[in-house]
Amino acid sequence: MKATEFLADLSRRFPNEPEYLQAVEEVVTSIEEVYNAHPEFERYNLIERLCIPDRIFTFRVSWVDDSGKVQNNMGYRIQHSNAIGPYKGGIRFHSSVNQSILKFLAFEQTFKNSLTTLAMGGAKGGSDFSPRGKSDMEVMRFCQAFIAELWRQIGPDTDVPAGDIGVGGREVGYMFGMYKKMAREFSGTFTGKGREFGGSLIRPEATGYGNVYFLLNMLATRGLSLEGKRVAISGSGNVATYTAEKLLQLGAKVVSMSDSNGTIYIPDGLTEEQLAYIFKLKNIYRGRIREAAEEFGFDYYDGERPWLRVKCDIAMPSATQNEIDGDDARALLAGGCIAVSEGANMPSTPEAIKEFQKARILYAPGKAANAGGVSVSGLEMAQNSQKLSWSAEEVDERLRDIMKEIHHQCELFGREDDGYINYVKGANVAGFMKVARAIMAQGIL
């Protein structure tokens, strides 16, 4: 395989899918060498079978808003690969959702899930419906209409959705309820469920906690600790808030959080009480981060992301894709940033990644650093199959072990001649080899 030729061909076939092409390019260029070391891969055209999703469901979702008006949104589920386990991946509800974004997320999920050591394939779904500003009943009606269409394609051993942007415990609960009714079964078909009906302890915390555990492993390779480090976080949703919680527990300073309207800057670091306020503000009152600035007198940068102005030792982007561009990366490096650990999926542009790697700082891509969320989803599936639930301590312990193992795999496959760990290469090669062997073993499907 020549990566450049394959990518040119893919761009010709999917010209309107920039995020998908971006994600594929990153993986394909970093696995080219190992791919070519296995001539059997090329003989069976493995690369196309790995990069093009197994199937895509696209549908209209019609629902009635509180004023009685009929609304129509698009719904999608991308089943990318079930080579190593049932399709598995989150559902995103956000006005920006389109096929390209979900294809990139399903592709990334396949490699991420392979790294977790658990048996999960890759998938992603969602809608251009935005829960922001909607009443609970509107959200419920939308979720029911979405599942009235999707339920046939999912199941505990077929495809297991979970949350992502705009989809948290409330949305998963409504979708699970509708699935249960349509399918006439009570099963583990969703993860991230309420703990009363099969949800795992620590699943809400898992992505943020897991990212901090991964960061600790990275820092340890340079003999560094978290104590007193200034950490800039973007976002103020599920991943961002639990990242902040674990950082505070471990003695780091959280100097920023954000939402799609702006950034708060807290040079001395957030207190636990202030974080509890933000958690309530975002999850219960569904307010804006600006309100935290008003409440506590923080600096507020309207319409800005954290990276250009906030000084930090460590950056943990936890909002959305392509939120750190080349200029942001250069500003972070100039401000003394020594590590970037991605809570979001693909938050750094290719130019930003190049800057981080050129500067030889610790840089972990989302598919490694944020894999804790889907890992605990995998543990939720295991508990549901056993009809048992494990203690928070047990799940947290397993999460730490999994993040350590993912770090180990990145080190094994990503260490370069000068000793630098290229976590992008390590994660891609390790994730790829497992899926590739499984695809080869199962024949042409």
Of 14-22, 312-320, 391-399, 408-416: span binding ligand NDP (CB under 6 A): 312-320
* Beta pairing, strands 230-233 & 253-259: parallel
Task: Tell me if 166 contacts ligand NDP by CB under 6 A.
Answer: yes
Q: CB 291 → ligand 2IT: shortest distance, Å?
A: 26
423 sits in which H/E element: helix 423-441
Residue 238 contact among ligand 2IT, ligand NDP, none, beta carbon within 5 to 8 Å by kind? ligand NDP
Task: Tell me if 384 contacts ligand 2IT by CB under 6 A.
Answer: no
Residue nearest ligand 2IT, Cβ-based: 90
Task: Tell me if 319 contacts ligand NDP by CB under 6 A.
Answer: yes
- Per CB under 6 A, the list member of 343, 365, 414, 426 interacting with ligand NDP is 343
Per DSSP, the residues of 329-354 read HHHHHHTT--EEE-SSSS-B-HHHHH
The position carrying tokens 């392509």 is 322
Q: CB-based burial of residue 58 (10 Å sphere; 0-12 exposed, 13-18 middle, 19+ buried)?
A: exposed
Of 158-166, 244-252, 382-390, 406-414: span binding ligand NDP (CB under 6 A): 158-166
- Give, to the nearest 10 degrees, the angle between helix 136-150 and helix 169-183: 40
Within 259-278, the residues that bind ligand NDP by CB under 6 A are 259-261
Count of residues that bind ligand NDP according to CB under 6 A: 25
**Which amino acid type is present at position 330?**
R
For residue 38, give every residue at least 6 positions away whose Cβ sits within 8 Å of its Cβ, in sequence order, or none: 436
Task: Tell me if 89 contacts ligand 2IT by CB under 6 A.
Answer: yes
Q: Is 124 a catalytic residue?
A: yes
Within 173-192, the residues that bind ligand 2IT by CB under 6 A are 191
Rounded-to-integer distance, Cα 62 and Cα 59, Å: 10
Q: CB 12 → ligand NDP: shortest distance, Å?
A: 28
Rounded-to-integer distance, Cα 392 and Cα 95, Å: 35
Contact indicator for 368, 429 with CB cutoff of 8 Å:
no
At 30 the three-state DSSP class reads helix
- Per CB under 6 A, the list member of 189, 377, 384, 422 interacting with ligand 2IT is 377
Q: Which two tokens stand for residue 166?
A: 């705009």
Of 49-57, 70-78, 147-155, 258-266: span binding ligand NDP (CB under 6 A): 258-266
Within 91-130, the residues that bind ligand 2IT by CB under 6 A are 109, 112
Q: Per this entry, what is the length of the chain?
A: 445
By beta-carbon proximity to ligand NDP, the closer residue of 3 and 101 is 101
Residue 318 contact among ligand 2IT, ligand NDP, none, beta carbon within 5 to 8 Å by kind? ligand NDP
Q: Which two tokens stand for residue 137?
A: 């009943």
Rounded-to-integer distance, Cα 314 and Cα 319, Å: 16
Residue 21 contact among ligand NDP, ligand 2IT, none, beta carbon within 5 to 8 Å by kind? none
CA 217 to each of CA 38, 68, 108, 373: distance values in angstroms, whole numbers, following the listed order? 31, 53, 22, 17
Of 103, 124, 229, 246, which residue is the catalytic one? 124
- Per CB under 6 A, the list member of 61, 292, 374, 427 interacting with ligand 2IT is 374
- Return the closest-CA partner of residue 304 out of 259, 347, 350, 360: 259
Contact indicator for 55, 382 with CB cutoff of 8 Å:
no
Q: CB 274 → ligand 2IT: shortest distance, Å?
A: 26
Computed over its alpha carbons, how large is the radius of gyration of the chain?
A: 21
Q: CB 437 → ligand 2IT: shortest distance, Å?
A: 22
By beta-carbon proximity to ligand 2IT, the closer residue of 62 and 117 is 117
Rounded-to-integer distance, Cα 86 and Cα 259, Å: 33
Of 22-30, 73-81, 340-348, 394-402: span binding ligand NDP (CB under 6 A): 340-348
Task: Tell me if 164 contacts ligand 2IT by CB under 6 A.
Answer: yes
72: left (phi over 0), alpha (psi -120 to 50) or beta: beta
Contact indicator for 332, 311 with CB cutoff of 8 Å:
no
CA 20 to each of CA 71, 92, 156, 339, 349: distance values in angstroms, whole numbers, following the listed order? 28, 16, 27, 26, 13
Task: Tell me if 88 contacts ligand 2IT by CB under 6 A.
Answer: yes
- Per CB under 6 A, the list member of 199, 237, 378, 431 interacting with ligand NDP is 237
Residue 89 contact among ligand 2IT, ligand NDP, none, beta carbon within 5 to 8 Å by kind? ligand 2IT
Strand partners, 125: 77, 91
320-359 mask for ligand 2IT (x: CB under 6 A)?
-------------------------x--------------
Task: Tell me if 200 contacts ligand 2IT by CB under 6 A.
Answer: no
Residues lying near ligand NDP in the complex (CB under 6 A) are found at 94, 96, 163-166, 168, 207, 235-240, 259-261, 318-320, 343-345, 370, 373
Which residues belong to the active site? 124
Give the interface with ligand 2IT as residue ranges (CB under 6 A).
88-90, 109, 112, 162, 164, 191, 345, 373-374, 377
